[in-house]
Structures are given as structure tokens and as C-alpha cells.
A and B are shown apart, each in its own frame.
Chain A
Amino acid sequence: MHLVMSQAAERGARVIAGAALALAGLVAVPSCTVPSRQEPGQATAAVRDAVAQATSAVETTRLTLRLFDDDRIPSTVADTALLDQLRVLDEASTALTTLVPPDDASAAHRAASADAVDGAVTSVVDARAWVAREAGGNLSADGGVPTSYDELASDLTDVADGLGQAYAEAGGQ
């Protein structure tokens, strides 16, 4: 009986160890999927990907602010959506700053795109501060917080245009 139990326990331990290994594999494999883009064409593609990511974040911010201004979403949802976009922009920024450009052309694309993404970060930070102000926070123009939705919307349009230009320069359509 004891022998049967210990064999069963051993089998069980083997199965659990297998499951743990499989789980470790599940976590490890995705980390190997980040492509290394070293060739000029690949570097430009990586720049385009980062700019597309940033553009998505800016468009999400525009939609979020419009809905908040129309009283269609509460401040908590708006704040969460904007915070999520800051994370996306952080990823885009990291993708650009960690990219080693293989030639001058891709270096120029990277620099222009990094500037555009920096502008997007500033705008989303401003947008979040504005939402906090509208939700009753003690923030004013003296603290650099935009005073109106129109001001923010105009700023975001400029940022989106800048990103569009960076995307086009990197060969995007």
C-alpha cells in the first residue's frame, strides 16, 4: 500500500514538475519573440511601428477627452484610459530610444519620431491633468494645466499631425 502510494506520489510530482516546466516555457517563449531590427529597412520599420503605437495612443486620448467633455464617461474611466495611453507611449519611446540606427537616414527618422512621441507624452500628461481639474482637482492655468477642452483638442491635433509626418518620413502611408 505504502509502495503504491509512493509510486503515485512520485508520478504526481513528475506531472506537477512537468506542468511547472510547461508554464515556465509559456512565460519564456514570448520574451524571445521581440524581433531584432538591425538592417536599415528593418530599423525604419521599427520606427514606423513605434510611431503607429504613439498615434494610436494620441487618437485614444482625443476620443477619451471628447467623451469626457460630452459627459459620456466619468473621470475615473477617462483617467484610466489616459494612464493606459501613457504606458503605450512609454513603450513607443523605449522602442525608439533603444534602437541602434544602422545608417544616417534611419537615425534621422528615429530622431524626428522620438521628438513627435515626446510631444505626445506631454499632451497626454496635460490631458490627464485637465481631467483631474475638471473632476474637482485644485489645478489651474498657473500650474500649466490647459484651461479648456478646445485648447487640448487643438494641441492634440498638432501632435497627431507631427506623428503623421514622422510616419510618412519613415516610409509609412
Chain B
Amino acid sequence: MKRILGAALGILTAIGGFVDIGDLVTNAVVGSRFGLSLVWVVLLGVVGICLFANMSGRVAAVSGRATFEVIRERLGPRAAGANLVASFAINLLTLTAEVGGIALALHLVSSVEPRLWIPVAALAVWLVLWRTKFQIMENVAGLLGLLLIGFAVALFLLGPDWGELVRQVTQPSVPQSESPAVYWFYAIALFGAAMTPYEVFFFSSGAVEEGWKAKDLAQNRVNVLVGFPLGGLLSVAIAATAAVVLLPAGIEVSSLSQIVLPVAAAGGTLLLAAVIIGIFAATFGAALETSLSSGYTLAQFFGWSWGKFRRPARAARFHLTLIVSLVVAVAVLMTSVDPIAVTEMSVVFSAVALPLTYVPILVVANDPEYMGRHVNGRVMNALGGVYLVVIVVAALAAIPLMIATGAGS
């Protein structure tokens, strides 16, 4: 019974923790401009994140060490250094976006300027990181993030033309008002949002924090293979509500306040309140995860003592990295940069960094010295190979498309 409850909790937190500010904004923007014609990218991204999170969790559970430590040992400091630079930079950008997202959610319920909320949000994130146990932190944020199901509820309450939505999904096409270059730019952004690198590093480090062993592999697989796809459905629901309400009205999403309007139109203030709490929890949870990921990546590369399972005094440089990362995020946001613009940049650059993040995981998951009998099978490697091609193409095309389309404008 305890195992079933544990598995259920793992799945629920995986669903609630799947969506972050990048998913929220990108899906809403795409829904309001392209309808559901880019849902195939969400599907592609979800399969990809399931594949690599599963590999990464397996590496951690079998070796008892986080992926980054193994990568450094297996590939040497140079290749691992490239991985570190890419992952750390993207992680910092994502953390900045998440802290901005918390401030925007608070702005929405208070009308108080986001810049006043930014230091408060960062301080709250740090306090939770400092004081709260890993499992409590992960479970509370993940469970409250489940309130984003409000988007799916709103979609049903709106009573859309389901046939039309299915047609958009099954026969994707570029709307007349948009160019193919912009369509592909957003396809890459959506792919980057679904496969954000921090998710994999957090997943594997979290497995070490929670003391996973090889016997926990089945639960790892269930969490990933059930939780992430259901989280992906939440992403589709966000895009669908925008497609049903905002697209016909000619509204292009450029702010968080627009994303929640379809929810209010469908369910009124109660559903709106639930979704805003969900947004707060999702961005707060992701801020916790990205802060920790900053510490994980750096500490695991340099061989520092790390982890929330250690007292802060026993992992001083790890905790200092968390603090410095949060200070940098606040400093960037206090320059008045638009958090939504930071979010859009973070998902595109996530796509650029994907090969540097995911190729080493594929290499390590194939090494019998570390993985023993849990080394990748043929199917995993075939899928990994296909994704390698997709990831490289997306990474190469991201910046040229961003320049050609004026960042999708």
C-alpha cells in the first residue's frame, strides 16, 4: 500500500512539476497564434524528455551518483566542461525566467509592480531551499502545480468545436497570417520548452537526494512514463484554451495576464484563483528546481560536497552557488527586462544547448562499466539516435530562425 501511495505521489508531482513558465508562456503564445497546429511538437518533446529523464534517472539509481558526476568522469573535464557551460548558462536563464514568473503571478493578484515582488520571490525561494526538506519541497510544489488542471477544466467548460481542434492537431498547417519561418521558430521554442535541460539534471540529482537504488527503477519508469505525458496534456490544454478564446479574437499572447483570461471566461473567479495558485506553484517549484540544478551542475563538476540531504555547513559551496544564482537572477530582472521576453529567450537557447546536454547522457547510459546489466537496450538506443538527429537539427536552426523572424515577431 505504501509503495502504491508512493508511486501515486511520484506521478502526481511529475504531472504538477512538468509545467514551468517556459511551457506556460510558449504554449499560450503558440495557441493564440497557431491554434493546435504545433501539438505534434509537444508530443515530440514529451517523448524526448521521457526518454532522457528515464536514462538519467537510471544512471543515478544504478551508479548511486548523479549524471553530471558520471559525465565528468566518463568524458573528461573538457567535454564535461562544455556540457557544464551550456547547462549552467541555460539553467541561470531559466531560473531568471522562473523568478520573473513568480513575480508576475503575484503581480496578477495584487496589482503591485513585479519589480517589487522579484526580491521577495527570490528570498522566499532561498528560504525554502535553506529550511525545507527535499521531499516536502518537491511534493508540495508538484501537488499545488496540479491546480493547472484548471486549464483542462476550462477547455471543457468553453465547449469548443472539438472536431475543429482535432483537425488542427491531425492536419497541422501554417496559418495564413503567419510565415513558415515563424512557425518553425515556435516549433523549436516549444521543443526547447518541453526538453528544458534542467529537468534531466534535477531528476538525476533528485534521485540521489532521495537515495534511489536499482530496485527503484520501476517506480522511476512509471513516474516518467505516466507523469510526464500527463504533464504534457496540461501544456496542450493551455494552448487549446488560448486557441479557443484568444485566437479568434485576434489576441496574441504577450503577458501572463492574457493567459488566464480564457480560464476566467470559462469558470469565473473560482477557477481563475485555482489556476493562479497553480501558476504560482509551478513557477515557484521550477525556481526551486533550477536553483538546485545550478548548484548540482557546478558542484558535481568540481567535485564539491552537494545536496540538500547534507546540512548547509557540510555543502557550503553548493549552497553559496544557489544564493549567487538567485542574486544574479534578481539582478537581471531588476534591470526592467520583461520576464516574458526572458522566458522566450530561455526556451530558444535551451534548444540550442540540447546536444551538449543530452549527448553525454546517451553516452553514459550506454557504458556497461557504469550501468552493468541496466545499460541502454536496442530500442532505447534507436530512439536516442533519432532524437540525437532531431536535437542537432533544432539546435542548428534555432538561432538562424530567431534572427530571420525577429524572435518570432
Contacts and interface: CB of A to CB of B under 8 A. Distances in A.
Interface of A: 8, 11-12, 15, 18-19, 22-23, 26-27, 29-30, 32-35, 49, 52-53, 55-56, 59-60, 62-64, 67, 71-77, 79-81, 83-84, 87-88
A33 B406 contact: yes
B406 A80 contact: no
B254 A88 contact: yes
A70 B85 CA distance: 51
B151 interface: no
Interface stretch (B104-112, B307-315, B372-380): B104-112
Given A26-B93, A76-B111, A77-B109, A15 B264 contact: no
Given A22-B86, A88-B254, A72 B399 contact: no
B187 interface: no
6 A-B pairs closest in CB distance: A84-B255, A81-B257, A22-B89, A56-B252, A76-B111, A59-B249
Contacts of B407: 30, 33
Interface stretch (B196-204, B213-221, B265-273): B265-273
Given A73-B269, A76-B109, A77-B264, A30 B250 contact: no
A25 B249 CA distance: 37
Given A15-B81, A52-B252, 7 more contacts: A29-B403, A30-B345, A33-B403, A60-B258, A73-B272, A83-B111, A87-B255
B269 A59 contact: no
12 contacts: A15-B81, A18-B85, A22-B85, A22-B89, A23-B93, A27-B345, A30-B341, A33-B402, A33-B403, A35-B406, A81-B261, A84-B257
Nearest to B104: A80
Given A73-B272, A77-B264, A80-B111, A60 B92 contact: no
Contacts of B108: 76-77, 80
A64 B249 CA distance: 12
Nearest to A20: B89
B254 A56 contact: yes
Give the interface centre of A8, A52, A55, A84 by most chain B CB atoms within 10 Å: A84
Nearest to B107: A80
A12 B304 CA distance: 12
Classify the interface of chain B: helix, strand, loop or mixed: helix
Interface of B: 77, 81, 84-86, 88-89, 92-93, 107-111, 245, 249-252, 254-255, 257-258, 260-261, 264-265, 268-269, 272, 301-302, 332, 341, 345, 349, 399, 402-403, 406-407, 409
Nearest to A164: B250
Nearest to A88: B254
Contact of B77 (A11, A29, A34, A73): A11
Contacts of B249: 59, 62-63
Contacts of B89: 19, 22-23, 26
Contacts of B403: 29, 32-33
Contacts of B107: 80
Contacts of B260: 77
Contacts of B269: 71-74
B250 A56 contact: yes
A67 B258 CA distance: 12
A73 B332 CA distance: 31
B264 A72 contact: yes
A29 B110 CA distance: 34
Give the interface centre of B107, B260, B261, B399 by most chain A CB atoms within 10 Å: B261
A72 B267 CA distance: 8
A52 B86 CA distance: 36
A15 B87 CA distance: 12
Contacts of B272: 72-73, 77
A30 B111 CA distance: 29
A79 B407 CA distance: 28
Contacts of B88: 19
Contacts of B111: 75-76, 79-80, 83
